[in-house]
Amino acid sequence: MANDSGVHIGGDANLTRSAISGRDANVVNSDTSVAAPADLAQLRRDLVELLDQVHRAGYELPDKDGVAANVNQALQEADKQEPDQSRLKGILQAVSQAVTGFGSLANTATAIDSSIDAIFSD
């Protein structure tokens, strides 16, 4: 008989405000209620909130300072009179990758990242 020491999920799963823990003691908290920003002003507010979440992260986020620096860089770009869409997109993709698996941080970063094209389509 095989040693089954992990959590296995198959098929579809709809999880809201859930926590999953694996044998390496990492806990992933999920909050799927993050709305994507609809305009540049909301994008700026959401980046400030994301930066606050990074600073308040109570779990071990690898390269927390680097992630915070990237969010700061995105915020500085978004604060410009004419932000560079591709630069913002690149920074936010890097942030999204860095926080993958970190619950609400990942949800917020992904929502912001996925909204860039829509915000700048006008």
Say which amino acid occupies 116. Answer: I
pLDDT of residue 93: 93
Longest dimension (CA), the chain: 63
Strand segments, DSSP code E, in 3-113 are 18-21, 27-30
Strongest mean pLDDT among 1-10, 18-27, 35-44: 35-44
Domain boundaries, the chain: 32-119
Q: State pLDDT tens for residues 31-77.
A: 445 666 788 999 999 999 999 999 988 667 888 999 999 999 999 99
Q: State pLDDT tens for residues 64-122.
A: 999 999 999 999 999 999 999 999 999 999 999 999 888 888 888 988 988 888 888 86
| Cα–Cα distance measured from residue 69 to residue 47, given in angstroms and rounded to the nearest whole number | 12
Which pTM value belongs to this model? 0.69
